[in-house]
Structures are given as C-alpha cells and as structure tokens.
Amino acid sequence: MDKIQMKTPLVEMDGDEMTRILWRMIKDELIIPFVDLKTEYYDLGLEHRDETNDKVTMDSALATKKYGVAVKCATITPNQARLKEYNLKKLYKSPNGTIRAALDGTVFRAPILVKGIEPYVRTWKKPIVLARHAHGDVYKDSEMKIEGTFPIKAELAVTDAEGNETRQDIFTFKAPGILEGMYNTDASITSFARSCFEYALDQKMDLWFSTKDTISKVYDGEFKAVFEKMYEEEYKEKFEAAGIEYFYTLIDDAVARVIRSEGGMLWALKNYDGDVMSDMMATAFGSLAMMTSVLVSPDGVYEYEAAHGTVQRHYYKYLRGEETSTNSVATIFAWSGALRKRGEMDELPELIEFADQLEKATIDTIESGKMTGDLALITSLENVTKLNSEDFIKAIAGNLRALRA
Ligand code: NAP
Ligand code: MG
C-alpha cells in the first residue's frame, strides 16, 4: 500500500521522560507505516534545551509561526529538583509558557469521550471544551499585607506619561488586612476573544463566555464588552451561517447551566476561572490522560499536545526495566489533530481521513475492552484486558490496519 503523501512539514517538538518513550512508539507503530511523514524536528527534551540555552524552544515556536501546525510532546518544566537531576545551567522557563507567549495563543482543552469511561455528570454526552485566558489577572498581581499605624488609607493611583495622576479610594483600614492590585490589557483580551471565535467556528461549536460583570463592572465589564463588540462586528454572520451561537452569561449561572447541559460547547473563561474549571472538567470527564490540548493563535496557528505531563513516576519504572501501562491516547490525538489540521490547510483529503481513522482505531480499542491501567481502574466495561504501554499501541495499530485494509 502506498503511503499517504504530505505537502508541508509538521513542526515536531519532542519532549521528556515517559511521553518521549510513547512518542517514539506512536510514530513507529501508528504514523510512519501509513504516512510519508514530513516533519521539521525540534528536540525540546530537557538535555537539549540545556545544550542550546533554551534557544531550541524559541526556534520551534518560530517554526510553528512559519508552517502553521505543530505537534508537541510533554516536557519537563524545571524546578530545583530537576536542576540537580539534569545538572542544568539554569532554571529554564516552562516551554509551554515560552511557546504560548511567542504565538500569543489561547489554550483549548478538550476531553476524549469513549463508551465505558463515563463522565461523572450523567447528562454530559458531548465534550465540553475549555478556553482559559492565560494572561494577567491574579497570576501577575501585586499584593500587600496592611499593617502599621492605623488608620491606613489604600488608593488606586496611576500616573501617565505627562505626569498626570488619577487616584481612587479603595478602603481605609482601621485594623490589619490585605490588599491586591491586578491588571489586564485590551490587546490580550482581544487576542483571546479572537482565538475563541475562530476555534468555535473551526469546530462548529457554540461559544459560551462568562465573567462576573455585575460585580466587577469595569474590569470584567471590559472582557464582556470586547467579546460582544467583536461578535457583532466580525463574527455574527459567520456564526449564523455555521448554525452556532455566541452566548454570554454570569460565571455562576454558567456553572449551573454547564452541569445541566449535554455538553458540546466551547466555554471561554478568565484566567483564574479557567484554572479552577479546567481541573474540575478533566476529573469530571474521567481522566487527565484522556484530555487533549491545543494552542491556537489569533492568526490561526495551531499547536497540539496532551494536557498531561511527562508521567515521571512511570518513566522511573521504565528505567528500572519494569513494565509500564501508560496511557498514550491524548498524545495520539495530538498527532491526529495536527495531521488533520495539516490536511485541511494543504487540502489533502487522504490525510484528513487517516487522522479520523487513527482516532477511531484508538477509541475502538478501548471500547473493545483493551486499555491501559488508568482506564481499567475506572471503566464500567466488563471483560477488560489491561495492556502495557507498548501492547496498547500495538493493539491500536492492528485496528488501524484493519480499518485501512
Ligand atoms: P503528570 O505527568 O501529568 O502525571 C501525574 C500523574 O497522573 C501520574 O503520575 C499518573 O498517575 C497520572 N497520569 C498522567 N498522565 C498519565 C498517562 N498518560 N497515563 C497514565 N497515567 C497518567 O504530572 P506530574 O507528575 O505532576 O509532572 C511530571 C512532569 O511533567 C513535570 O516535570 C512537569 O513539569 C511536566 N508537565 C508538563 C506538561 C506539559 O508539557 N504540557 C504539563 C504538566 C506537567 P499514577 O502515577 O498514579 O499512575
Ligand atoms: Mg490548575
């Protein structure tokens, strides 16, 4: 059988630990036998990041801008323990943070649904995709403990380039307390909104956005206004033509509605709301190992990955020669997502079809009772076979060959 041809290379970002082992197996068993794979390879493994003083991370981000689609393996974000373990020159920043900043992107997290791994919320039938505005707010705030000689008056003060000052009372403390100041920019909120509208159109999903603008009239009110204006001016017609909706509601109302819903929407959230809700969603849908993640820039550049990390504990078992049963589904879906997007951009229907088949073969494998240990623990299926990391991928390869025969 002839291999499927590609036109433009994918940007391939290799990574660390157990996911690096899975990466190789996925390529060898599930991609290369079927696709004449073209990639531009960047090794973001921690050792190579250290050798290049992290230049490789920025290079991979620039290549993603150039080609439009990347697939990324999970990578270590170094901390003090890693600094020692890998004898690093310095504590490098999170690669995901570097890439996100370079692409000015928004991260969308989507669960993979299979029969037998039921969401904890019984009404959910379709994936709920979460978009978190990963910029500013409480993550870049300034905080103070209020102590000293009371009363202590707290004010907001801004000084412009000409030295003009604007002040606003916050509170007069008569006893100890705490104070916090935070910010965001219209440019960042606008990029976030655009990425969300584009993703919703691309996936033909309703877009929900929620803040607390009744309480935070200026701050959250600005978020609401930016989304509303962009929708009215640029997306209303496109959304109507695609048969999808933009819906704004208060965050507390949104939480209640999401729980009662069937799912199937993209839910856009401010930074803190997205932080909290994304962990709740990953758990509520069953498993972090079944959660995919895609970074989308406002100009339509896509970087696909799994939402989980490098699964360090399994890697140490692997190094000791013990058997591992690590779930490769989210990493496989990162590959299928990237190949499908490449297929759409380059008008390669065979590549799109292959991405669909790869996902179907993966889901069929689990639904037939063959799965890794993490899923075997939570499945409602009977007659389950727990497979090791490699045999699970080989079982998928068997189904994939049958689908393509
Ligand atoms: P993790 O790699 O997501 O793993 C945490 C635990 O979740 C694992 O020990 C395992 O539980 C379970 N798990 C996660 N993915 C799994 C999979 N595919 N199959 C089976 N079980 C899975 O998080 P971590 O241990 O906190 O972080 C490890 C490294 O990953 C860190 O250096 C961190 O910096 C990095 N990280 C990278 C990314 C990224 O690149 N996007 C994201 C998060 C973390 P059991 O051990 O109980 O089996
Ligand atoms: Mg969190």
Nearest ligand by distance to the CA of 288? 1
Same domain, 122 and 222: yes
Nearest ligand by distance to the CA of 139? 2
d(CA 351, CA 117): 28
| Nearest atom (ligand 1) to Cα of 374 | 20
Last residue of a domain, one of 160, 180, 200: 180
pLDDT tens digits along 58-72: 999 999 999 999 999
Exposure of 190 by Cβ count < 10 A (0-12 exposed, 13-18 middle, 19+ buried)?
middle
What does R_g of the chain's alpha carbons equal in angstroms?
23
| Nearest atom (ligand 1) to Cα of 305 | 41
Question: What CATH number is given to the structural domain containing 394?
Answer: 3.40.718.10
Last residue of a domain, one of 254, 285, 316: 285
C-beta atoms surrounding 371 within 10 Å: 27
Nearest ligand by distance to the CA of 98? 1
According to the model, what pLDDT value does residue 1 have?
67
Q: For residue 272, give the nearest of 133, 142, 118 by alpha carbon.
A: 133
Q: For residue 360, give the nearest of 1, 30, 74 by alpha carbon.
A: 30
Same domain, 360 and 273: no
According to the model, what pLDDT value does residue 327 have?
98
Contacts of residue 4, Cβ cutoff 8 Å, sequence gap at least 6? 34, 35, 36, 348, 350, 351, 354
Instruction: Give domain status of residue 150, yes or no.
Output: yes
For ligand 1, the distance from its centroid to the CA atom of residue 164, given in whole angstroms, is 50
For ligand 2, the distance from its centroid to the CA atom of residue 276, given in whole angstroms, is 6
Same domain, 167 and 225: no
Same domain, 238 and 348: no
According to the model, what pLDDT value does residue 298 have?
86
For ligand 2, the distance from its centroid to the CA atom of residue 234, given in whole angstroms, is 32
Q: Which residue has the tokens 């701050």?
A: 219
Q: For residue 394, give the nearest of 362, 355, 367 by alpha carbon.
A: 362
Instruction: Give domain status of residue 373, yes or no.
Output: yes
- What's the whole-model pTM score? 0.91
Are 120 and 284 in contact, with CB atoms under 8 Å apart? yes
Instruction: Give domain status of residue 110, yes or no.
Output: no
Same domain, 238 and 279: yes
Instruction: Give domain status of residue 113, yes or no.
Output: no
Mutate to test the pocket of ligand 1, among 14, 73, 75, 288 (most ligand atoms within 8 A of CB): 288
Domain that holds residue 173: 142-180
For helices 219-230 and 186-203, give the axis angle rounded to 10 degrees: 50
Instruction: Give domain status of residue 28, yes or no.
Output: yes
Q: What is the pLDDT along the chain (405 residues), one digit of tens a residue?
A: 689 999 999 999 999 999 999 999 999 999 999 999 999 999 999 999 999 999 999 999 999 999 999 999 999 999 999 999 999 999 999 999 899 889 988 999 999 999 999 999 999 999 999 999 988 999 889 999 999 999 999 999 999 999 999 999 999 999 999 999 999 999 999 999 999 999 999 999 999 999 999 999 999 999 999 999 999 999 999 999 999 999 999 999 999 999 999 999 999 999 999 989 988 898 899 888 999 999 999 888 999 999 999 999 999 999 999 999 999 999 999 999 999 999 999 999 999 999 999 999 999 999 999 999 999 999 999 999 999 999 999 999 999 999 999
Three state DSSP letters for the chain: CCCECCCCCEEEEECCHHHHHHHHHHHHHHHCCCECCCEEEEECCHHHHHHCCCHHHHHHHHHHHHHCEEEECCCCCCCHHHHHHCCCCCCCCCHHHHHHHHHCCEEEEEECCECCECCCCCCCCCCCEEEECCCCHHHHCEEEEECCCCCEEEEEEEECCCCCEEEEEEEEECCCEEEEECCCCHHHHHHHHHHHHHHHHHHCCEEEEEECCCCCCCHHHHHHHHHHHHHHHHHHHHHHHHCCCEEEEEHHHHHHHHHHCCCCEEEEECHHHHHHHHHHHHHHCCCHHHEEEEEECCCCCEEEEECCCCCHHHHHHHHCCCCCCCCCHHHHHHHHHHHHHHHHHCCCHHHHHHHHHHHHHHHHHHHCCEECHHHHCCCCCCCCEECCHHHHHHHHHHHHHHHHC
Same domain, 314 and 325: yes
Same domain, 70 and 218: no
Same domain, 169 and 262: no
Same domain, 173 and 192: no
Q: φ, ψ for residue 135 (rounded to 5)?
A: -150, 130
- The answer, yes or no, to whether the previous bond of 33 is cis (omega within 30 of 0) is no
Cβ < 6 A, ligand 1 pocket: 74-77, 96, 288-289, 305, 308-313, 326-327, 374
Q: φ, ψ for residue 343 (rounded to 5)?
A: -60, -40
| Nearest atom (ligand 1) to Cα of 326 | 19
d(CA 302, CA 310): 21
According to the model, what pLDDT value does residue 354 have?
98
Give Dmax over CA atoms of the chain in angstroms: 82
According to the model, what pLDDT value does residue 329 have?
98
Last residue of a domain, one of 255, 285, 315: 285
For ligand 1, the distance from its centroid to the CA atom of residue 313, given in whole angstroms, is 8
Q: For residue 283, give the nearest of 143, 109, 153 by alpha carbon.
A: 109
Are 374 and 312 in contact, with CB atoms under 8 Å apart? no
Same domain, 389 and 246: no
Instruction: Give domain status of residue 137, yes or no.
Output: yes
Nearest ligand by distance to the CA of 80? 1
Mutate to test the pocket of ligand 1, among 46, 308, 327, 393 (most ligand atoms within 8 A of CB): 308
Query: From atom 7 of ligand 1, which residue's Cα is the shortest distance away?
Result: 311
For ligand 1, the distance from its centroid to the CA atom of residue 188, given in whole angstroms, is 29
Same domain, 1 and 95: yes
Instruction: Give domain status of residue 173, yes or no.
Output: yes
Q: Please give the tally of structural domains in the chain.
A: 3
Same domain, 323 and 344: yes
Instruction: Give domain status of residue 338, yes or no.
Output: yes
| Nearest atom (ligand 1) to Cα of 311 | 2
According to the model, what pLDDT value does residue 96 have?
92
Query: From atom 12 of ligand 1, which residue's Cα is the shortest distance away?
Result: 311
